[in-house]
Amino acid sequence: MLEVKNLNVSIGDRKILNDFCITVKDGEVAAIMGPNGTGKSTLSYVMSGRPGYTVESGEVLLNGVNLLDFEPNERAAKGLFLAFQYPLEIPGVATMTFLKAALNAQRKYRGEPELSTPELMKKVNAAASKLGIKSDMMKRALNVGFSGGEKKRMDILQMALLEPSFGILDETDSGLDIDALRIVSEGVNSLRDPKRGFLVITHYQRLLDYIVPDTVHVMAGGRIVRTGGKELALELEKSGYAEYLGEEKAA
Amino acid sequence: MSAQIIPSRTPAETTLVESFGAVKASLPGSADVAKLREDNFAAFVEAGLPHRRVEAWHYTDLRTIMREALPLAAAPSPAALEGLKKDVAALPLHGTKLVIVDGAFVPELSDKAPEGVTISSLATVLSSGKPDLLTLLAGQGMGAGDAIVALNAAMMQDGIVIEVAPGAVVAEPLNLIYATASATPVARFSRSLVSVGAKASVAIAESSLGEGGRTGQTNGCLIFSVEDEAKVTHTSLLTGSVAGSIRLETFMVSLGARVKFDSFALISGQGLTRRQIFLRFNGEESESTMRGASLLRGREYADTTLFAEHLAPSCVGREIFKYILDDEAVGVFQGKIHVAPEAQQTDGRMLSKALLLTDGVVMNNKPELEIFADDVACAHGATCGGLSEEQIFYLQARGLPYKEAEALLLEAFAAELVDELEDEKTAETLRGEISSWLAARVVK
């Protein structure tokens, strides 16, 4: 279970998250929607530990452990996974090398035995074929020269291999055409599990046609201003965010 | 009117003058060679050790750095050679081992030449050699005016002359292994030639055994003369130099037509390393790739200076040099591409990329283009910067601890050049060198 409690975050002297609270139960898919610049990406970065933000107060509890006390890699090993809005290109690092390093670093942190290369290959190949990732991509440098869709699929492949207990999808739909969106969404849906929660961050309803959420939260002014079921997304698609922009100014 | 400045000789220059006077009679070569030595030494004396007012040596002021000239290496004793035997045998190299001890080629420690290859010592060639080889050994005018090249031509004690017959395909690499038999730091001057016949194919790999080339003062010169349609790969490990040592390596390459030439050098170590590359395209449609990686920490210093001359049309030149600088290390890259009027359709690209890991490091970049033809595509670039924090965070978010993420990115940066090597075993060796350098890195 993920519980974010009274999270206050700023960059420099600009307040971004304002007493932000959310709870996502195991097996739940929660969507956060909101206009640009309302702090959605900041939330995902702060949860995963990217430097550059000042956390003034609050907690991010994953299964009762406050992630804010740990380094980004430790948070990952404790079960948090962030699918990036724009996965980075890492020239010179072969994708397979990277996957092995990541998987084994997490296993080592948790005191589990490392995977051998054949074991890893087997896992990777199985996961890759589900996502329609060609084997020659695994030999290339990570994300280098990949299309937007290929990069996203690679991120989802990593999630499938790392088996996190909680996944954050940050604007996963950006830069995707309909076919890529469908493949990526199917990848995510196949990872839905009673023991795994998701936070889907998006500002379009479109993604939620493919990854159907259990709950929808509207974020404005650095906090959740409204919560409802999946029908809330459709309502927002019609009415827009205008009525919440007052919150923005108040923040 | 300006007053002429007559610099006084430094102690090192004085010792070199005395040293040349004392040994010149015993240095190998015919009367013609002796004359050549005299002329070159006179040129050296006139110029003196290179200093910052000599443009090609602007950053590496040898006149100030080289406080003394070490005594010339003596011929290795039979006992010392015997001692090296098992070390040579234990070297994990594939291919033909050719051993050069303190500048002298030692056939007793070396393997036999493979088919299609003739191997002689420089001394033999200088004494009784063929005139065509002597011309090639003079570097065909490459490096003219460089005092260190002139000093090498004056003092060259020995070296190796490798002739690859036209059409010969040498399957396994020829390894030039630099060893030392001297317990104290000495000076060594060696000059070697690799003459590759038309349509031949060969790989040359330079490396050190123990402290060979890593101590004292080394002035080495390796000359490649490559005939039409030949294919050559070359790797050089200039690693592990000890503090206080000075290693000056001149690399001269002249290419015929439709040649493929590929070279990679790795530099690391506490001593001063200066590598100077003279590359000349004499024939049309040749392709050359020159690569190098310098890994420097502490107060280490390495200088790579390159001069590529396009004298024939439609050649492709790629020069890429990478530096990882940590602590207070200093890197130098100077590169000049010269395109002669007749070298139309030249495609020349030069790039220097430096990763600066602390605020205390210095990288000096001086790229130059000198173009006299009107239909060419030439470019040069130089980048300096730190590791990307974004990339580090991405790797961390997948579970890699900060230090491991950083190490992975550093390794990728340096090893990217190695990945392009054709010979997988050589690439593996070089990757191992890079990994062990990174493993020894103290992360603050």
Confidence of residue B255 (pLDDT cuts 50, 70, 90): very high
Give the residues across from A170 on adjacent strands: A201
Q: Which residues contact B428 (CB under 8 A, 6 or more apart)?
A: none
Torsions phi, psi for A67 (to 5 deg): -60, -25
Taking the Cβ of residue A157 and every Cβ of chain B, the question of whether any pair is shorter than 8 Å is answered with no
Give the residues across from B274 on adjacent strands: B248, B303
Contact residues on chain B for A48, CB-CB shorter than 8 A:
397
Taking the Cβ of residue A178 and every Cβ of chain B, the question of whether any pair is shorter than 8 Å is answered with no
Taking the Cβ of residue A106 and every Cβ of chain B, the question of whether any pair is shorter than 8 Å is answered with yes
Chain-chain contact of A91 with B389 (C-beta, under 8 angstroms): no
Chain-chain contact of B393 with A101 (C-beta, under 8 angstroms): no
pLDDT at B135 over 80: yes
Give the mean model confidence (pLDDT) for residues A100-127.
Answer: 93
pLDDT at A11 over 70: yes
Chain-chain contact of B397 with A101 (C-beta, under 8 angstroms): no
From A90, which residue of chain B is nearest by alpha-carbon distance?
B391
Q: What angle do CA B177, B181, B186 make, to 5 degrees?
A: 100
CA distance A149 to A147: 5
The strands making up A54-62's β-sheet, listed across from edge to edge, are A14-24, A2-11, A54-62, A65-66
Confidence of residue A242 (pLDDT cuts 50, 70, 90): confident
Shortest alpha-carbon distance between residue B408 and chain A (Å)? 7
Chain-chain contact of A92 with B400 (C-beta, under 8 angstroms): no
Contact residues on chain A for B402, CB-CB shorter than 8 A:
71, 73
The DSSP annotation for B120-137 comes to EEHHHHHHH--HHHHHHH
Q: Which residues contact A216 (CB under 8 A, 6 or more apart)?
A: A30, A31, A33, A208, A227, A228, A229, A230, A232, A233, A236
Confidence of residue A142 (pLDDT cuts 50, 70, 90): very high
Using alpha carbons, select from B404, B61, B136 the residue that is nearest to residue A98.
B404
Structure-token match 């969404």, residue found: A185
Chain-chain contact of B401 with A105 (C-beta, under 8 angstroms): yes
- The answer to whether B294 and B304 have CB atoms below 8 angstroms apart is yes
Contact residues on chain A for B403, CB-CB shorter than 8 A:
none
CA distance B334 to B146: 15
- The answer to whether A106 and A148 have CB atoms below 8 angstroms apart is no
Q: What DSSP character marks residue B388?
A: -
Give the mean model confidence (pLDDT) for residues B266-290.
Answer: 97
Chain-chain contact of A71 with B412 (C-beta, under 8 angstroms): no
Alpha-carbon separation of residue A44 from A92, A124, A251, B396, B421 (angstroms):
27, 26, 19, 14, 41
Confidence of residue B20 (pLDDT cuts 50, 70, 90): very high
pLDDT of res. A247: 54
CA distance A214 to A220: 20
- The answer to whether B28 and B127 have CB atoms below 8 angstroms apart is yes
Chains A & B: contacts with CB separation below 8 Å: 73
Mutate which of A93, A109, A159 to test chain B, going by most B C-beta atoms within 10 A? A93
Within its chain, how far is the Cα of B170 from the centroid? 22
The strands making up B260-269's β-sheet, listed across from edge to edge, are B104-105, B96-101, B174-179, B201-208, B231-241, B260-269, B287-296, B316-325, B347-356, B377-385
Using alpha carbons, select from B223, B352, B353 the residue that is nearest to residue B279.
B223
Q: Which strand (E) or helix (H) includes residue A109?
A: helix A95-109
CA distance A131 to A186: 8
pLDDT at A248 over 60: no
pLDDT of res. B208: 96
Chain-chain contact of A49 with B396 (C-beta, under 8 angstroms): yes
Torsions phi, psi for A208 (to 5 deg): -75, -10
Q: Which residues contact A230 (CB under 8 A, 6 or more apart)?
A: A31, A208, A212, A213, A214, A215, A216
CA distance B68 to A197: 71
Alpha-carbon separation of residue A147 from A81, A136, A139 (angstroms):
22, 14, 16
Taking the Cβ of residue B370 and every Cβ of chain A, the question of whether any pair is shorter than 8 Å is answered with no
- The answer to whether A169 and A188 have CB atoms below 8 angstroms apart is yes
Write the residue in B390, B399, B415 that is nearest to A76 by C-beta. Answer: B399
Contact residues on chain B for A106, CB-CB shorter than 8 A:
399
Give chain A's domains with CATH numbers: 2-250 (3.40.50.300)
Confidence of residue B348 (pLDDT cuts 50, 70, 90): very high
Question: What digits encode the pLDDT tens for the residues A59-104?
Answer: 999 999 999 999 999 999 999 999 999 999 998 898 999 999 999 9
pLDDT of res. A251: 43
Q: What is the CA radius of gyration of chain A?
A: 18
Within its chain, how far is the Cα of B81 from the centroid? 25
pLDDT of res. B218: 97
Give the mean model confidence (pLDDT) for residues B7-25.
Answer: 93
Give the mean model confidence (pLDDT) for residues B177-206.
Answer: 96
Alpha-carbon separation of residue B115 from A156, B118, B129 (angstroms):
55, 8, 21
Confidence of residue B133 (pLDDT cuts 50, 70, 90): confident
Residue B250 DSSP SS3: strand
Confidence of residue A135 (pLDDT cuts 50, 70, 90): confident
- What is the rounded (10 degree) CA torsion for B51, B53, B56, B61? 30
Question: What digits encode the pLDDT tens for the residues A179-225?
Answer: 888 988 998 999 999 999 999 999 888 899 999 999 999 999 999 99
Write the residue in B390, B399, B413 that is nearest to A106 by C-beta. Answer: B399
Confidence of residue B2 (pLDDT cuts 50, 70, 90): low
Give the mean model confidence (pLDDT) for residues B132-150.
Answer: 91
Q: Which two tokens stand for residue B89?
A: 């045998």
The DSSP annotation for B252-298 comes to EEEE-TT-EEEEEEEEEESSEEEEEEEEEE-STT-EEEEEEEEEE-T
CA distance A236 to A167: 24
Shortest alpha-carbon distance between residue A51 and chain B (Å)? 8
Percent of chain A with pLDDT over 90: 68
Q: Which of A98-107, A238-247, B279-288 is predicted least confidently? A: A238-247
Mean pLDDT of chain B: 94
Give the mean model confidence (pLDDT) for residues B189-213.
Answer: 96
